[in-house]
Amino acid sequence: MFNVIATISEVASTKATFGFSVIVQHALTGISVGGCYALIAIGYTLVYGILRLINFAHGDIFMVAGYFMIFSFAVMPFPLAIIVTLVATTVLGILIEKFAYSPLRNAPRMSVMISAIGVSYLLQNLATYLFTALPKAYPAIPGLKQVIKIGNISTSLVTILTPIITILLVMLLLWLVNKTKIGMAMRAVSRDYEAASLMGIKLNKTISFTFAIGSVLAAVGSILYFTDRMTVFPYSGSLPGLKCFVAAVFGGIGSIPGALVGGFFIGICETIIKAAGLSTFSDAFTFIVLIVMLLIRPTGLFGEKNIDKV
Amino acid sequence: MKNINFKSRMNIDLLIYLAIIVVSAVILVFLDMNKFEYNYSISIIEKSLVYAVVALSMNIVTGFTGLFSLGQAGFMALGAYTTAILTIPAAARPNVYYMNGILPALENAVVPIPIALILGGVVAAAFALIIGIPVLKLKSDYLAIATLGFSEIIRAVIASPMMDKITNGSYGLKSIPGFKSSLECFAFSLVCIILMILIINSSTGRDFKAVREDEIAARSVGINIFKTKQLSFIVSSFFTGVGGGLLAMFMRSIDSKTFQITLTYDILLIVVLGGIGSITGSIVGAFFVTAGKEILRFFDEPLVVAGVEIPLFKPGFRMVIFSILLMVVVLFFRKGLLGGKELSINGLKKFSRKKDEVSVGGVA
């Protein structure tokens, strides 16, 4: 491990002759990827906060949202296609919860987790079956790929737009969770499942709502992410999904600002590692972050202290 | 019924198992003699045997100790690469490492296959020892994702350019000597499976189960929880490593992409279908899933009935069927096909006779 770190710093120092514009360029890319990660990480954090379940299928919901966009874009104008994608993804998220997780409410945690892995496996195989394993081209939403030049730096609109949209959505979500009635219900359920239902909070409705929010955000993230990458394939959700879970753990599971910070952190670090020419390690790095975080501060940056998870 | 004592029951079971082994061996010898005719069946059997070893080793940690570990693919990779590096014939090596050359120390490092397999297991076990210290302190889902993370890290390190001279980086390894006959594969897997069964039924195995059932109760009767978890993790990883080595011998060429998360999921599928915490479940599950995947291959080919192409049949259909099967088992038969029970003659008899006596609870 130390060897690896030594080589990383070596490579980094040899490439230290980055121009200012190159650094800004990488920083922009990092922030943009980080924004997408943050949107997905919120889905993990909300679901884990309420069900104490790593929703392994969340990354695949994100992937399926990509396919929804491809197919709806082909038949309708893009504003409508975006709406259809968001709605379809939300319905998918709610259905998954209804069929795969809610029957297992009182089962051991391992069963629920296996069920989540099963859903992920099913979505991946279904996508391979329906759309083949070959990458499909993601439609270019008019205007989003437009190149913007500021001095030496050239970037596309989506790169700048992503962090802005992310932060706006997070603010909206924070308002929803902290100020509205359903948000209060979500907080109550995540604090104490049984007590909340005794107080007359409808458990299933709240959980469905949580999945709906997670899925909408995943769909928005998916549109922004795939506009930048330009292709979707059945496994394109699995690794980003795991990374975003790590982002959620990093920020403190259950905490929305935590997921935001975690998403940006993972996205930026990953871009730096790739820029340093170590792309083989960019995925491994995420998991190193996870393990280090679990050892040093298992509750994450903003996590609550008293959750029994480690 | 009641006058048959425990010991003679065990002996009857043992005899039956011996008979099954002998019959399987005879069948394999027959298949080996007609190798060209039964090539396909032989390869299915070999693959099932390898998967049975890995599934059972996953069951030790997941089913018998209650630790949900998703690091299988990583440990298999360690075992597979160790075995491959130590068994590729020296003459073939320049050809395998044609891009980057080979580490001089490894140029002629060839050992007999059984030793290479054991070393593969030892390497995996050693990693499990190191990884286990931080990871086994975590609970349920955190343990799962941390082990999964380690498996990805192992894969990244294997594929990295810095390991080029050892693992051949992203080019992978080929020319790995395969099984000389299916009997050889059978023998290796059988030894692994028997050793694992002996461990599960030993006092150590009972410690594992005690930890699974109730950690506090286990601690109060003097079981060192952490040591037990660690031991289970190491034992499981050892056999996973050996299983990885067997997989390398079966496939004859490996690269880091072989050991992705999907491999772990494939094994999990076997363990869950067979029944978490069931030895025979894992073994039967391995054969059921592996053979099933091959037999259902026709689902992946376009089917034309009376000139009309049936639209459902196209590549990927059988995996969809398997995923649905997995979901059905998880949702409706939560304990898998066999649950925590074992297939045995006594069990079958008891099943047909219904529960009119206090169950002996298997061998354990």
Q: Read off the pLDDT of residues A119-162 as tens digits, 9 standing for 90 and up.
A: 999 999 999 988 888 898 888 887 777 787 777 777 888 888 89
Show the CA angle centred on residue B243, arms to residues B238 and B246, nearest 5°. 135
Alpha carbons B56 and B237: distance in angstroms, whole number = 11
What is the reported pLDDT for B353?
56
Q: How confident is the model at residue A263 (pLDDT cuts 50, 70, 90)?
A: very high
B 271-330 residues with CB below 8 A of A? Answer: 272, 276, 314-317, 319-320, 322-324, 326-327, 330
Is position B360 within any domain?
Answer: no
Is the residue at B1 inside a domain?
A: no
Q: Report whether pLDDT(B17) > 70.
A: yes
Q: Is B364 domain-assigned?
A: no
pLDDT beyond 70 at B350: no
CB contact under 8 A, B160 and A281: yes
Residue B66 in domain? yes
Q: Where do the domains of chain A lie?
A: 2-296
> Which of B66, B142, B322 is nearest residue A310 as measured by Cβ atoms?
B142
| Best-predicted range by mean pLDDT (A102-116, A207-221, A243-257) | A207-221
Residues of B in contact with A300 (CB under 8 A): none
Contacts of A3 in chain B (CB under 8 A): 162
Q: How far is B266 from chain A (nearest CA, A)?
A: 9
Residues 6+ apart with CB under 8 A from B97: B165, B168
**What pLDDT is attached to residue B343?**
67
Closest partner residue to A280 (CB to CB) among B145, B160, B323 is B160
> Is residue B246, in this structure, part of any structural domain at all?
yes
Instruction: Give the closest-approach CA distance of A248 to chain B in angstroms.
Output: 12
Cβ contact, residue pair A52, B134, below 8 Å: no
| CA-based nearest distance A54→chain B, Å | 7
pLDDT in tens, B203-241: 999 999 999 998 899 999 999 999 999 999 999 999 999
Question: Among A222-226, B1-5, B21-25, B85-89, which is the least confidently predicted range?
Answer: B1-5
Best mutation target, B270, B318, B326, B328, to test chain A (most A CBs within 10 A): B326
For residue B245, the domain's CATH number is 1.10.3470
Q: What is the largest CA-CA distance in chain B?
A: 71
Residue B361 in domain: no
CB of B329 within 8 A of CB of B337?
yes
Q: Which CATH architecture has domain A2-296?
A: Orthogonal Bundle (1.10)
Give the separation between CA A21 and CA A163, rounded to whole angstroms: 19
Residues A129, B148: C-beta atoms closer than 8 Å: no
| DSSP class of A199 | T
Q: Which chain B residues are Cβ-neighbours of A298 within 8 angstroms?
A: 138, 142
Which chain A residues are closer than 8 Å to B162 by Cβ?
Answer: 3-4, 7
* pLDDT over 90 (residue A95): yes
pLDDT at B356: 44
B261 touches chain A (CB under 8 A): yes
Average pLDDT over residues A66-75: 92
Domains of chain B: total? 1
Q: Closest chain B residue to A249 measured between Cα atoms?
A: B142
CB B41 within 8 A of CB B290: no
Rounded Cα distance, A166 and A170, in Å: 6
- pLDDT for residue A282: 81
Question: What number of C-beta contacts closer than 8 Å exist between A and B?
Answer: 130
The parent domain of residue B228 ranges over: 6-353
**pTM of the predicted structure, to 2 decimals:** 0.85
Under the banding of pLDDT at 50, 70 and 90, the label for residue B5 is: low
Contact call for B316 and A114, based on CB within 8 A: no
Q: How far is CA B171 from CA A149, A223, B97, B116, B167, in A?
A: 40, 34, 9, 21, 8
Per-residue pLDDT at A265: 93
pLDDT at res. A295: 81
The residue among B212, B282, B333 whose CA lies nearest residue A115 is B333
Average pLDDT value for residue range A81-100: 94
Q: Has the ipTM of the complex gone over 0.90? A: no
**Beta-bridge mates of residue B309:** B304
Quote the tokens at residue B269.
């599928």
> Is residue B363 domain-resident?
no
Give domain status of residue B133, yes or no: yes
**Chain A CB contacts of B320 below 8 Å:** 122, 125-126, 129
pLDDT at B149 over 50: yes
List, in sequence order, every beta strand (DSSP E) within chain A: 136-137, 147-150, 153-156, 231-232
Question: What does the buried/exposed string (b/e) look like for B136-159 if buried means 16 or more CB atoms within 10 Å of the residue's CB?
Answer: bbbebbbbbbbbbbbbbbbbbbbb
- Rounded Cα–Cα distance for residues B264 and B69 (Å): 10
Report the percent of chain A where pLDDT is more than 70.
Answer: 92
In the predicted model, is pLDDT for residue A50 greater than 90?
no
Fill in the amino acid letter for A63. M
Stronger pLDDT, A307 or B6, i.e. the higher one: B6
Q: Which pair of structure tokens corresponds to residue A159?
A: 């790169």
Write down the mean pLDDT value for chain A.
85
